[in-house]
Amino acid sequence: RLIREAISRGAHAHPIVSPTSWKDGPPRRYDVMVVGAGFAGAVMAERLAADGGRKVLLVDRRPHVGGNAYDELDDAGVLIHRYGPHIFHTNSQEIFDYLSRFTQWRPYEHRVLAAVDDLLVPMPINRTTLNMLYGLDLGTEEEAAAFLAAQAEPVSVVRTSEDVVISAVGRELYQKFFQGYTRKQWGLDPSELDKAVTSRVPTRTNKDDRYFTDRFQAMPLEGYTRMFERMLDHPNIDILLGVDYCEARDAYPHDHLVFTGPIDEYFGYRHGKLPYRSLRFQHVSLDVDRFQPVAVVNYPSPDVPHTRITEYKHLTGQQVPGTSITYEFPAADGDPYYPIPRPENQQLFKRYEALAMVQTDVTFVGRLATYRYYNMDQVVGQALATYRRMTRAPAIRTVP
Ligand code: FAD
């Protein structure tokens, strides 16, 4: 029997598998099978069902919806993120409005500290970081900019992640904040990584210590899982959890497939595996009210194996005794988390993309199917755009 119910704990204690419509067996045919119940798959399923009136079967091999954004109450009653901290931020009014149909929000601005030289200093580097680290009293943006300019080393062509940082803040800050962290995170030296990786982290000359500067920054009030449950609570959507696509493919006939899993897996790895960096999470509950001053503390030092520690009460604002934290350890093997941004990997992806382009009855969407690191809002935007294209040309293939 393929159907397995997933009942998450605590606040999410209702089954969301919806085989009630299957009293007489599953429908003979679905309009669309959607593989993957993360942001990409859930948005596609919701749009196809609620806007397009299509009968949708949503399949995920994990025993829950939400993909990597899944959250759950742990034994201490704290809402934790099983696959690492997920902070919502976007500049898009459209994306924020769309998700707001399924959740209320808790205003939250993310702040990160880095453990450097026995201090906890703001990350991204800002004027406070410089003043704390160097015992300075830089009072203006101009003074901070002049200090950084004096540290920076000229790099004629900025190609790698090392070039980006050294040309902006110099070698010492590069070593303190970036080199060890990047080596742990990626298993590669920044000099071996595309410039895109460290370009994402700004350096500031003001005292803004927010990690993100987006217009909308908030956490779903009752968590991500609850938001997904509301999104998928539609009579046109049936959900199979704990079921792999290869088990469901032939058992549930469908006219069209939306695939949000790994594109190389879909094509049987015929050109080889697309490389990913993985993570291992160690979730710990503690008998103290607070463990650290902000939600995330980064550990760039090569002397400890973890890259960061997250304390969830900062994200949720929960008032419960005790606290729950997660240590994050980068790993070569395990679930695919971060596509490794190297030119040869993009070339390999292009070969899979070429295969995808000729599949007229399959639509590929999401971070695993397009082999790109996307934030949650970007995946929502990609899925909304993909749905719009599908409705213009119903059987169209889409590799954005
Ligand atoms: P996923 O969430 O991975 O969903 C894909 C789903 O497909 C999975 O549930 C998987 O089980 C299922 N699946 C795959 N193959 C099959 C198959 N063959 N059969 C059945 N099911 C299958 N973004 C932010 O905006 N803010 C953050 O703070 C943030 N933090 C992050 C932290 C970490 C550690 C990571 C790894 C990512 C973070 N992200 C963050 C990015 C965010 O996780 C992604 O944008 C989002 O999860 C992408 O959604 P998706 O649906 O494309 O993929």
pLDDT of residue 394: 52
What single-letter DSSP state applies at residue 178? I
Domains in the chain: boundaries: 126-199
In degrees, rounded to 5, the angle at the alpha carbon of residue 301 between the alpha carbons of residues 300 and 306 is 75
Which residue, 90, 127, 314, is CA-closest to 208?
127
CA of 69 to the centre of ligand 1 (A): 7
Tens place of pLDDT per residue across the chain (400 aa): 223 333 333 333 333 455 555 666 677 789 999 999 999 999 999 999 999 999 999 999 999 999 999 999 999 999 999 999 999 999 999 999 999 999 999 999 999 999 999 999 999 999 999 999 999 999 999 999 999 999 999 999 999 999 999 999 999 999 999 999 999 999 999 998 888 888 878 899 999 999 999 999 999 999 999 999 999 999 999 999 999 999 999 999 999 999 999 999 999 999 999 999 999 999 999 999 999 999 999 999 999 999 999 999 999 999 999 999 999 999 999 999 999 988 899 999 999 999 999 999 999 999 999 999 999 999 999 999 999 999 886 554 444 4
pLDDT of residue 398: 43
Among protein residues, the one with the nearest Cα to ligand 1's atom 14 is 261
- Token readout for 88 is 């919502």
Element (H, E) at 120: strand 119-123
Ligand 1 atom with least separation from CA of 87: 28
pLDDT of residue 202: 87
CA of 82 to the centre of ligand 1 (A): 12
Kindly give the pairing relationship between strand 296-298 and strand 276-286.
Answer: unpaired
CA of 367 to the centre of ligand 1 (A): 7
Task: Please list every protein residue whose CB sits less than 6 Å from any atom of ligand 1.
Answer: 35-41, 59-62, 67-69, 84-87, 244-245, 260-261, 279, 337, 366-368, 374-377, 379
Element (H, E) at 58: strand 56-60
pLDDT of residue 50: 97
CA of 274 to the centre of ligand 1 (A): 16
Which residue, 39, 389, 19, is CA-closest to 235?
19
